[in-house]
Structure 1
Amino acid sequence: MADQTKFHPALAVNNVKNFIPITLEMEKGHYSSWAELFKIHCRAYQVIDHILPPTPTSTDTATEKVAEVDPALWSRLDAIVLQWIYGTISNDLLHTILQPDSTAQQAWERLQNIFLDNKNSRAVYLENQFTHVHMDDYPNISAYCQELKMLADQLSNVGAPISNQSMVRPQFDQIARAMEMMAMVMQQQSAHFSQMEAGRAAIEVARSMVPQDGRDLAEFRRC
């Protein structure tokens, strides 16, 4: 049994943020991505049953055996998964779900209730966020599109999916506006360069009229 405890994969995880780089926050709407990464991590380290109890048809009974054979190890693993949850959410969410003697599954379900219950109000909030995403607020178009996709995924999770047309339209509208602004800037620059060229031409004409040597100067004075 000591060997089992020593070599359980979950005991080897030093920094969960290496595997779950997202910090779950209420305002960011990252729950879908965070939950998926967390479940993948738990499956990889054989502790998925600590947040999602096995179904009657489940074929993976590894954690059930741990719970039956070594309750102390099960309790320790549950505390580790609970630490992973607490370590990858914001302080506001932590204070919201933190309760004495909680299990990992209970903490997981509290987060689920926060983000997936009250779907109508959540959908209204996310739709408002979606319509107020502006390309000017992002360093490049890739980051802008990623934000739209993330919000669309969250809306789908609460039963309010965004159609492909609605997804594409704001991108084209804002790209079109950006291109219009770029065209105006280019026109202004072109006009500025034209004025500069005209000024250079006038200077060249003026220079051509100024005497360049003694003979030209004598002829210029006779005039």
Structure 2
Amino acid sequence: MSPSASSYSNPFAGPDPADIRDINIHDRVLVILDATDATYFAWKTYFSLLFRENNLVDHVDGSVDSRAMVGDSEWTAIDATLIRWFFTTISKDLFHTVDDQSIDDYCRRLKTLADELRDIGAKVDDDLLLSTLTACLNEDFGNASSNLSLIPEPSFPKFVAYLRLEERRMKGVKKCV
């Protein structure tokens, strides 16, 4: 039996992380998500098809508890690739808007995007949402981002609350200087 045939007969076998990493996302997602253009529907459709074609739906639909997968290096490698795909298929302006927003605005926008993906059947699980949240923080939140990994039973609301406190602390420090 060929390796590809055996992977289809094993319901627990997932895609090879190296194969996923080597996909040229710009050849597969032919639009760049931009806040000023009407590209969202096309962007989400390309991603939805890509996830289904490559057996990646379980990474975004919430059917797998990603916290249970933290020790699985193949799973986390694929998740990291998906995050990279998202970042490289949005416009520079949209990407940089994240740096210029307050924590509340940034988190609200991120949650809205995750909800919109859920609405089209591409649910973003908590782990991917938390990874995206921390990966897009500007350099001022470098220490805070590192500290987020220390929060017991991590969740989006806990991360947001911590980042709000850190944002207030940083504003207080700037006033004192």
- TM-score norm. by structure 1 comes to 0.35
Greater share of helix residues, 1 or 2?
Answer: 1
Q: Computing the radius of gyration over CA atoms, which structure comes out larger, 1 or 2?
A: 1
- TM-score norm. by structure 2 comes to 0.43
With a CA cutoff of 8 Å and minimum separation of 6, indicate the structure with the bigger relative contact order. 2
